[in-house]
Each structure stands twice: as C-alpha cells, then as structure tokens.
Amino acid sequence: MFIAKNKPVWGTCAGMILLSNEIIGKIENQRHIGGLDVIIERNFFGSQQQSFIKNIEYPKEFNKEGEYPAIFIRAPQVFLKVQTLKNELEQLFKLLHIIMMQK
C-alpha cells in the first residue's frame, strides 16, 4: 500500500530484490514486495563471499590525489524494461552496469 501511494522507499542489495516486480534466480517460496517495474537477477556478480576491497584512484571530479579503499559488494543486477526507463525511472549513476536509479 505504501509504495502504491507513491511514497519514497529505499532499496539496496536485498532491498532492491524485495522491491522488484520480477526476480531471476528466486529462491523457492521467496516473497517480495514489488512496486518497482524492473527485473532483478540475484547473485549476478557472485555470492556475498566474493565481495572485496580494492584501492582505486579518486575520480578526476574529486580533485584529490591518491587512492581510496573502494568496497565492491556482490549485488543483484538490475535489468530495466526499456518502456519503464523511458516512462518512469531516471538513471542516476552508471559505471559498467546501472547501480543507482530513482523512480
């Protein structure tokens, strides 16, 4: 009901899985809330045990020299339906794959 009333929600990792309308790799009897018209694939990048920390250089936009420890978690992949993206979602950030969006 909350989502249907266009109330804001936040979902990262498992939360994004719960909010998606469709789940690839769904666990038997797994329940979800829905409301976000995307397809999510669980463990797309591997299991959580494969998460890691790597020092990477600051982006040029930071105007900062050196490196920082970036944390790479194994998260689900978001597959946007083209019509959904055009009509409802705004992509906020993309590295190799979309990692941030808003509805």
Question: How far is Cα 78 from Cα 55, in angstroms, rounded to an integer?
Answer: 25
Query: Buried b vs exposed e over 18-46: b needs ≥16 C-beta within 10 Å?
Result: bbbeebeeeeeeeeeeebbbbbbbbeeee
At 100 the pLDDT is 53
| pTM summary value | 0.59
At 65 the pLDDT is 93
At 45 the pLDDT is 77
Q: What is the pLDDT of residues 11-43, one digit of tens each?
A: 878 888 898 888 998 888 988 888 887 888 888
Q: What is the pLDDT of residues 30-81, one digit of tens each?
A: 888 888 878 888 888 777 788 888 898 888 888 899 999 988 877 788 877 6
